Amino acid sequence: MIRFPKVLVIDPDGNQLGTMSSRDAQLKANELGLDLYCVAPNAETPVCKILDYSKYRYEQKRKERESRKNQKTVEIKEIQLTPQISMHDLETKAKAANKFLLEGNRVRARVMFRGRQLTHIEVGEETLNKFLELCSENGELDKPPLLDGKWLNATIIPKKRK
């Protein structure tokens, strides 16, 4: 269903057959028992290729599936802390964060301030720095601690393995 008056035609081997009417190009494709597929419809002279369309679609899907298989999705895991967290709880959360980092995920550490705790942000920063120190074995700081409303956020990325 190509509606262009003139098209540049490429044969199945990749050789240019030149510019011809779309009707002649369709007849040429039918003669070879193949389909006419518009490869570049936005070109000055639209480019059409003579090919087996079902085989072309199969190869495209296979390439897409292969690229998806090789692609790794990176998730951002979140660890929430409070300024008054005990050392044991902090170590437990750091252990979980190290596990996430070893899996290749990013970790966002968040310290939540409630009520009057916002007047003593330095306590939360100390807690976050202790947490970052516990995670320094497997990760490195990507974004430094930043206060966002009642949250103090820092992002840790996994270290490059050799």
pLDDT in tens, 91-128: 999 999 999 999 889 999 999 999 898 899 999 999 99
pLDDT at residue 10, rounded to an integer: 93
Question: Any bridge partners for residue 81, and if so which?
Answer: 111
Question: Any bridge partners for residue 7, and if so which?
Answer: 20
**Confidence check: pLDDT of 160 > 90:** no
In one-letter notation, the amino acid at residue 25 is: A
pTM over 0.75: no
**Confidence check: pLDDT of 162 > 70:** no
pLDDT at residue 1, rounded to an integer: 72
Answer yes or no: are the C-beta atoms of 80 and 54 closer than 8 Å: no
pLDDT band at 157 (very low <50, low <70, confident <90, very high): very high
**Confidence check: pLDDT of 27 > 70:** yes
The per-residue pLDDT for range 35-94, each reduced to its tens digit, is 999 999 998 999 999 999 999 999 999 999 988 887 777 789 999 999 999 999 999 999
Answer yes or no: are the C-beta atoms of 154 and 146 closer than 8 Å: yes
Per 3-state DSSP, the chain is made up of helix, strand and coil in percentages (nearest 5) of 40, 35, 25
d(CA 58, CA 51): 13
